[in-house]
Amino acid sequence: MPLVLTPPNFSETVKSPDRLQKLFELGATTEFQETIQRANERYTHWHRFRYVPIPNGLTHEEVWALLKLGRRANFKQAPFTDKQGVPFWYWIPDALQRYLHDIDVWAGGNIVSEHPGPLPGKEQYIIRSLMDEAIASSQLEGAATTTKKAKELLQTRRKPKDRSEQMILNNWETMQFIRENRKVSLSKELVIEIHQRITADTLDHPEDSGRLRVSNEIVVEYKGETVHIPPDFKLLPERLEAFCEFANEDSQSKWVHPVIKAVMLHFWLAYDHPFSDGNGRTARALMYWYLLSRDYLLFEYLAISRYIQKSPGQYVHAYVHTETDENDLTYFLLYNLRATKLACEEILSYIGRKQKEIAGLSYALKKYPGLNMRQRSLLSHAIQHPHEIYTFDTHRTAHGVVYQTSRNDLLELAEKGFLKKEKRGKEFVFIQAEKMMDRLRSAANAEL
């Protein structure tokens, strides 16, 4: 059985005017309307719809035909076509409207939560999210390593040991490149540079890194089945120019909601498959680039690929449902916006957990014996900024004390295991010790 069954030709089902009139009469019943509403809420594809309970007196094919007529009445044409020149279409049903609203509300706000207490520095959240995105996006493409080992690679900045680790490092560095170049207009050269950065030292044929494919030998497979044959490679330069033109187009007459447009760009690049490998990673990176370029800056905090990684089969189905059902992009839009909404919810949950943890550590810090006010203040800052560097001079300036007092404070914190002393150049610097947070957690737990 194929991965997804192609829907029946609904126009054949309703070609009889008398039967169509009868279907419309039956379609006015409450039972029928509820069936249609449920199918559109989930945006069910024929592959699953054929098992949905339907009202008596109708066949699945007939109900599908009326469902399709209703969907087509709401279709908008996307600005690109398939390899036969047939346009893609999309609809924004109620479920998609809700996701867009929730995402817009989140993206237009600040990183806050209902929990009281301080937040760690903004950059920590961004770094954590970029790491998660880099790791998950690489794992989706076959990087064989655990998340724990991948984070250790990025945090220690050691040299990658194998191709999987190189993929993750490439993704991490590319995400930072995208942040820095979010205001640059998209061009063929920028797309190629992003691909080159993502795939450097990870391909069987190194010459394919940063180069459009030069043959039609590439097919997309899932579980041994061919699920997509990309357009002819000779069309790629022209299609990539159109891709960039669409990304840069901001006129009101051709306006598309930025989140919808970002997902379209994701789909378009993956559909064209312009490179021999690394197309998925490049497509997801460009989705981030577009949203950041349109000032959806809180998307720096989101690791959307983590949610795609949890259900890679659904990700593939979202592509295949679109291709098999008259180029209906709504399937792909809904899947990606659902993943984005989950990523928004997760970051708020994570922030709440961290705020509670910080509150507990701050309370333990107040009760910890043998620390003076200045030392408690420094450690409180270190809890929220774990990568901060402290020196005798910075501590002296922050608290208005003499050099010797500053020196004594920091050396004592190093002796107690809260800070780690390192020699950098001609001066000593102090950073958060590996055991500092564990030491405070133990103190916090002892208070409970």
Bridge partners, residue 428, by sequence: 423
Percentage of residues in the chain with pLDDT exceeding 90? 50
Q: How many helices (H) and strands (E) does the chain have?
A: 20, 6
Q: Three-class SS of residue 227?
A: strand
Q: Find tokens 């564990």 and name the residue.
A: 438
Q: Residue 57 region, left (φ>0) first, then alpha (ψ -120 to 50), else beta? A: left
pLDDT at 446: 62
Whether the Cβ atoms of residue 388 and residue 431 lie closer than 8 Å to each other = yes
pLDDT at 440: 78
Q: Residue 122: what are its φ and ψ, rounded to 5°?
A: -50, -40
Residue 334 lies in a domain: yes
pLDDT at 448: 43
Q: Note whether 307 and 404 are same-domain residues.
A: no
Alpha-carbon distance of 8 to 64, in angstroms, equals 8
AA identity, residue 406: S
Residue 361 lies in a domain: no
Alpha-carbon distance of 448 to 444, in angstroms, equals 7
Between CA 221 and CA 227, with CA 224 as vertex, the angle to 5 degrees is: 35
Between CA 420 and CA 422, with CA 421 as vertex, the angle to 5 degrees is: 120
User: How is residue 43 annotated by DSSP?
Assistant: T
What number is the average pLDDT over the span 156-168?
84
Q: Which residues contact 135 (CB under 8 A, 6 or more apart)?
A: 143, 147, 150, 151, 154, 168, 171, 172
Alpha-carbon distance of 401 to 403, in angstroms, equals 7
Alpha-carbon distance of 184 to 298, in angstroms, equals 19
Question: Domain range holding 20?
Answer: 10-73
Q: For the chain, how many structural domains are there in total?
A: 3
- Residue whose C-alpha is closest to residue 390's, from 436, 353, 357: 436
Q: Note whether 138 and 278 are same-domain residues.
A: yes
**Structure token digits, residue 342:** 């989950």
What number is the average pLDDT over the span 282-289?
93
User: Comparing 51-65, 121-135, 145-159, 284-298, which segment has the lowest mean pLDDT?
Assistant: 121-135
Q: Note whether 256 and 107 are same-domain residues.
A: yes
Burial class (CB in 10 A: 0-12, 13-18, 19+), 69: middle
Instruction: Return the CATH number at 404.
Output: 1.10.10.10
pLDDT tens-digit readout, 17-35: 777 777 777 767 788 888 8
Q: Note whether 190 and 324 are same-domain residues.
A: yes
Mean predicted lDDT score pLDDT of the chain: 86
pLDDT tens-digit readout, 76-113: 999 999 999 999 999 999 999 999 999 998 887 654 44
Q: Find tokens 């394919």 and name the residue.
A: 208
pLDDT at 120: 46
Q: What size, in residues, is the chain?
A: 448
Q: Residue 245: what are its φ and ψ, rounded to 5°?
A: -60, -45
Q: Note whether 89 and 125 are same-domain residues.
A: yes
Q: Find tokens 């010790």 and name the residue.
A: 433
Alpha-carbon distance of 387 to 382, in angstroms, equals 8
Q: Note whether 255 and 215 are same-domain residues.
A: yes
Residue 241 lies in a domain: yes
Q: Note whether 347 and 218 are same-domain residues.
A: yes
Q: Note whether 41 and 170 are same-domain residues.
A: no
Q: Note whether 282 and 409 are same-domain residues.
A: no
Q: Note whether 256 and 131 are same-domain residues.
A: yes
Residue 362 lies in a domain: no
Q: Note whether 282 and 381 are same-domain residues.
A: no
pLDDT at 128: 62
Q: Examine the pLDDT at 410 and tell me if it is beyond 90.
A: yes
Binned at pLDDT 50, 70 and 90, residue 7 comes out as: very high
Query: How much is the CA Rg of the chain, to the nearest whole Å?
Result: 27
Query: Regarding predicted confidence, which is higher, 136 or 283?
Result: 283
Instruction: Produce one character per residue of 364-380: b if its CB has 16 or more CB atoms within 10 Å, e if not.
Output: bbeebeebeebbebbbb
pLDDT tens-digit readout, 169-211: 888 889 889 989 999 999 999 999 999 999 999 999 999 999 9
Alpha-carbon distance of 106 to 198, in angstroms, equals 29
Residue 121 lies in a domain: yes
Residue 401 lies in a domain: yes
Q: Note whether 60 and 95 are same-domain residues.
A: no
**Structure token digits, residue 10:** 């609904």
Q: Which residues contact 321 (CB under 8 A, 6 or more apart)?
A: 4, 45, 47, 328, 331, 332
Instruction: Return the CATH number at 103.
Output: 1.10.3290.10
Residue 356 lies in a domain: no
pLDDT at 363: 80
Give the dihedral sign, CA 264/265/269/270: negative
pLDDT at 326: 94
Of the residues 25, 46, 73, the one at which a domain ends:
73
Of the residues 351, 385, 414, the one at which a domain ends:
351
Query: Regarding predicted confidence, which is higher, 253 or 411?
Result: 411
Residue 414 lies in a domain: yes
What number is the average pLDDT over the span 247-276?
94
Of the residues 351, 384, 417, the one at which a domain ends:
351
pLDDT at 148: 75
Query: Regarding predicted confidence, which is higher, 446 or 286?
Result: 286
The number of angstroms, rounded, from the C-alpha of 210 to the middle of its chain's C-alpha atoms is: 23
pLDDT tens-digit readout, 106-140: 887 654 444 444 444 555 556 666 677 767 777 77
Burial class (CB in 10 A: 0-12, 13-18, 19+), 425: exposed
